[in-house]
Every structure is written in C-alpha cells, then in structure tokens.
C-alpha cells in the first residue's frame, strides 16, 4: 500500500502556508530552516498517520536520492527523524532506521525551472537503486521537500517495482503543488525567493548553521567566474576545500559546464594553502 502525505498544500501562485524566504534559505543550506521544516513534517505525519495506530513495526526513512552530495531534503530528513524518534521512544516503538536511495545520473539543468514534460524527459534517463534485502518486511518512508509534478515520485515507484518491493510505503513531502493550473516553475520562484545573487549566500555560509547541498554547489559552479572568484576569496580554507571535494565527489570535474569555476577554485585553494605555509601555519 502506498500513501502520500504532504504537510502543506500550494493552490495559489502568490499565497503559501509557509514563509517563502525561509524555504529559499533552506534550499541553499540553512540548517535552521531545515530543522523547523523537518520537525513540523514529523509532527504532522505522526498526527495524520501514526497516532491512532496500535501496532507500529520497523520504520525506514529514505531521503531524496543522491549520489555524493546530499540534497537539501537530507538536512530536513535528519530533524524529521529526531522528532519522530522521540515520539516512537515515548510510545515504546522501535526507533527509525535509515536507508539510502542511490542515483546514477547528474545534470546541470535547473530542474525547478522546467515544465512537467521537460522534467520527465530530463530525469527519465536516471535510475534509482536501493538495498531491497535490508528493507524486507519494513514500512518505508520516502521523504522529499516538495512535490511539483510527481516526476521524482514516479521514479521512486518505478524503483519499488523494479526491486519487487511489497512494503507499505509512505511518500512524504513538506509541501505539494495541488493546483495544476500553476506552472511548475513556481518551484524556482520559491527556490530563489531570497537568493538573487551569489553574494546572498554569504550570510548563510557564515551563519554557523550551514549545510552544503547539491543545489548550493551547482549554483556556485555555474555562476559568473568573476563574481565566483570574489565570493570564494571571502571564504575560509575549510569551506573552499569542502566545496572542491564535494564537486569532485559528484563527478562535476567531468562536466564542461563546471570546468571554469572548478579550475578557479583549484587555483584559489592552492593559493590559500601557499599563503598559510609561507606564514608558518
């Protein structure tokens, strides 16, 4: 049995049941927003689907599929689990287990700006993989931040069919677009509500609660190289190294669209290391 649950419904293009600015920061790595959203989603899911159950078996949470760099929903997932585990422990149920869904294809296109047909065409060549043996006999909670056209959901269900998963499954979303008359690019309106340039990311990075994710890395690597150089020059070595390592781990060094900024990043990283060595650090 498959059940879909979303905490918030979007049915008007200019009215949202959550703060768009906060959602925008969440999509670019604000972990405080991820904590708020994940905790709220857990509370809503418990009230809607678990509170009245008398026998809850082993739950397994699977966040949005990724290769090496986690998605924004991964941070949301962490706080969803924390809140859900508290409730499970208080009610003497087994706490959550986690599993990862792996994806095989990465792309530079901004998914949030595409219509339904373009989204399906883009991710249609992708494949998701999961450990079906580990999941046997457990209830699966597939977690994502937003459902717009259902393209990712179709790939999740395709994966479930491919691996012959007969588990009870929940498809959980922080928000869902419920009005088909609204263009799917409303997702990008939300994503970039508070991020108008690369320099708007500086306060998130230096906030003390930053979580590097796929959207953040891709946005930086596709940006104008002169602005990118200024932005990176204002960051510390730890951030620069993490960004470079994340990019390499996701195979971005093999993609032409990212080559210019990656080469710039490599030069700046070497330069910072040289300065530290020359100054005796």
Domain that holds residue 271: 198-276
Residue 105 lies in a domain: yes
Domain harbouring 111, CATH code: 3.40.50
Last residue of a domain, one of 191, 206, 224: 191
Provide the pLDDT for residue 277.
45
Residue 243 lies in a domain: yes
Residue with tokens 């459902």: 147
Same-domain check for residues 87 and 9: yes
Given a cut of 70, the residues of the chain with pLDDT beneath it are 105-125, 272-281
Same-domain check for residues 49 and 128: yes
Same-domain check for residues 34 and 168: yes
Same-domain check for residues 69 and 179: yes
Last residue of a domain, one of 136, 163, 191: 191
Residue 215 lies in a domain: yes
Residue 49 lies in a domain: yes
Same-domain check for residues 10 and 149: yes
Last residue of a domain, one of 165, 191, 217: 191
Same-domain check for residues 31 and 122: yes
Same-domain check for residues 202 and 185: no
User: How far, in Å, CA of 35 to CA of 133, rounded?
Assistant: 31
Question: In this structure, what token pair is assigned to residue 94?
Answer: 């087994």
Same-domain check for residues 142 and 22: yes
Provide the pLDDT for residue 159.
93
Same-domain check for residues 154 and 222: no
- In the chain, the number of structural domains is 2
Residue 281 lies in a domain: no
In order of 73, 81, 171, the CA distances from 139 in angstroms are: 20, 14, 11
Summarised one tens digit per residue, pLDDT across range 152-198 is 899 999 999 999 999 999 999 999 999 999 999 999 999 999 999 99
Provide the pLDDT for residue 116.
64
Same-domain check for residues 12 and 71: yes
Provide the pLDDT for residue 120.
62
Residue 224 lies in a domain: yes
Same-domain check for residues 179 and 258: no
User: How far, in Å, CA of 52 to CA of 14, rounded?
Assistant: 35
Residue 184 lies in a domain: yes
Does this model's pTM top 0.95?
no
Same-domain check for residues 138 and 206: no
Summarised one tens digit per residue, pLDDT across range 116-140 is 666 566 566 677 899 999 999 999 9
Candidates 272, 261, 250; CA nearest to 106 is 250
Provide the pLDDT for residue 89.
98
């Amino acid at each position: 049995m498959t059940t879909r649950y979303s905490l918030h419904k979007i049915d008007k293009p200019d009215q949202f049941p959550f703060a768009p600015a906060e959602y925008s920061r969440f999509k670019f790595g604000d972990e405080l927003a991820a904590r708020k959203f994940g905790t709220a989603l857990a509370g809503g899911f418990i009230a809607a689907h678990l509170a009245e159950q008398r026998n809850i078996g082993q739950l397994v949470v699977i966040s949005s599929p990724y290769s090496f760099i986690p998605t924004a929903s991964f941070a949301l997932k962490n706080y969803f689990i924390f809140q859900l585990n508290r409730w499970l422990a208080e009610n003497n149920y087994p706490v959550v287990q986690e599993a990862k869904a792996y994806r095989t294809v990465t792309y530079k296109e901004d998914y949030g700006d595409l219509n339904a047909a373009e989204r399906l065409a883009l991710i249609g060549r992708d494949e998701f993989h999961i450990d079906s043996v580990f999941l046997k006999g457990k209830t699966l909670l597939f977690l994502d931040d937003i459902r717009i056209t259902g393209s990712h959901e179709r790939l999740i269900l395709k994966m479930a069919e491919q691996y012959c998963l007969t588990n009870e499954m929940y498809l959980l979303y922080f928000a869902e677009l419920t009005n088909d008359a609204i263009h799917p690019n409303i997702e990008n309106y939300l994503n970039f509500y508070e991020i108008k340039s690369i320099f708007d990311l500086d306060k998130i990075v230096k906030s003390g609660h930053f979580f590097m994710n796929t959207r953040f890395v891709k946005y930086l690597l596709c940006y104008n190289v002169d602005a990118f150089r200024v932005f990176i020059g204002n960051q510390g070595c730890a951030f620069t190294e993490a960004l470079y390592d994340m990019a390499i781990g996701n195979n971005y060094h093999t993609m032409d669209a990212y080559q210019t900024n990656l080469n710039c990043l490599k030069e700046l990283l070497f330069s910072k290391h040289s300065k530290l060595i020359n100054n005796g650090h």
